[in-house]
Amino acid sequence: MQASQVEIRKVNKFYGPFQALKNVDLTIPPGKVTCLIGPSGSGKSTLLRCINFLEEYDAGEVRIDGQLIGYDAPGRKMSGRKLREMRRSIGMVFQQFNLWPHMTALENVAEGLIRVRGLSKRDAQARAEDALRKVGLGDKMANHPSRLSGGQQQRVAIARAIAMEPRLMLFDEPTSALDPELVGEVLTVMKTLAAEGMTMVVVTHEMGFAAHVADQVAFMDAGELIAAGDPASILHQPQDARIQSFLRTYHERNSF
């Protein structure tokens, strides 16, 4: 599989007078897992959503494999068609799963293959079945989302994304909406993807995942990228006081 790389350079985003992202510089290396951590409101989700232009950044550049996303040139927005073309190779998994409730799990996964990739219904369903089996839901294909647990729904969402054969996967707090006992099954699927060499950017509060699976951990606070590096240096020997304070609160709340 060919894995994408992402270059984020001096990205700024404003919501009116409020600056959500301040001059963020980050490289997402190909085939590696990058985790974005930080307190709420730090801009991590916003930055993630800028990568596939679900949020529009106002200044700076986001390049995927060298190609600028969202803009043809600074100030000139990309056409809808070109944007959709770029999004075909990017997969996204949302905190709220966002499965389409009026379709079965199989139909959810096949829909993109039919409408976007133009596959025939039969081919799409065959590929969808493979994707669902890969995330361990081969026996739940005919279920509607309302008959699936949160963990199962999120795994269907992951299947939906990987069925499109993306070169880059974005995860926006994929386990935050799940009951604790269901988190494991989703993390397992994500670890499998990582082992296969997918470029992954994951916004998460699961520090264990960041520590053991991530190749790069980036800490954000109040719209700024404070530090980025390998998990050991960020999580176990943080230099910046903000990271120390964040981790201290985390340990207080989570150890017993």
Partner 1 sequence: MFSIPVFLQAFEPLIWAARYTLLISGLGIALGLVIGTLICAARLSPYAALRGFAAVWVSFLRGVPLLVQLLVFYYTLPVIGIDVPAIVAAVVTVGICASAYISEIWRGAIAALPKGQAEAAAAIGMAPHHIWGRVILPQAVTMSLPALINELILLVKASSLVSVVGILEITRASQAQAATTFRPLEVYIAAACIYLAINLCLSALGRYLEHRTAI
For partner 1, the binding residues (CB under 8 A) are 52, 54, 80, 84-88, 90-92, 94, 96, 98-102, 111-112, 115-116, 144, 146, 157, 160-161, 164
CB of 97 or CB of 246, closer to partner 1: 97
Question: Closest distance between partner 1 and the C-beta of residue 69, in Å?
Answer: 12
Question: Closest distance between partner 1 and the C-beta of residue 79, in Å?
Answer: 12
CB of 96 or CB of 120, closer to partner 1: 96
Longest dimension (CA), the chain: 56
Question: Closest distance between partner 1 and the C-beta of residue 111, in Å?
Answer: 7
Question: Closest distance between partner 1 and the C-beta of residue 64, in Å?
Answer: 13
**Residue whose tokens read 């530090």:** 227
Q: Are 50 and 14 in contact (CB under 8 A)?
A: no
Indicate the burial class of 47 (C-beta count within 10 angstroms; 0-12, 13-18, 19 or more): buried
Choose among 211, 24, 173: nearest CA to 96.
173
CB of 92 or CB of 200, closer to partner 1: 92
Work out the angle between the directed axes of helices 105-115 and 150-162 (0-180°, nearest 10). 20
Distance CA 6, CA 225 (A): 16
CB of 23 or CB of 143, closer to partner 1: 143
Q: Count H helices, E strands: the chain? A: 9, 12
Q: What is the DSSP string of 37-65?
A: E-STTSSHHHHHHHHTTSS--SEEEEEET
Token pair in block for residue 254: 């989570």
Q: Residue type for 119, please? A: L
CB of 46 or CB of 52, closer to partner 1: 52
CB of 5 or CB of 98, closer to partner 1: 98
Question: Closest distance between partner 1 and the C-beta of residue 50, in Å?
Answer: 13
Question: Closest distance between partner 1 and the C-beta of residue 240, in Å?
Answer: 32
What is the radius of gyration, based on Cα positions, of the chain?
18
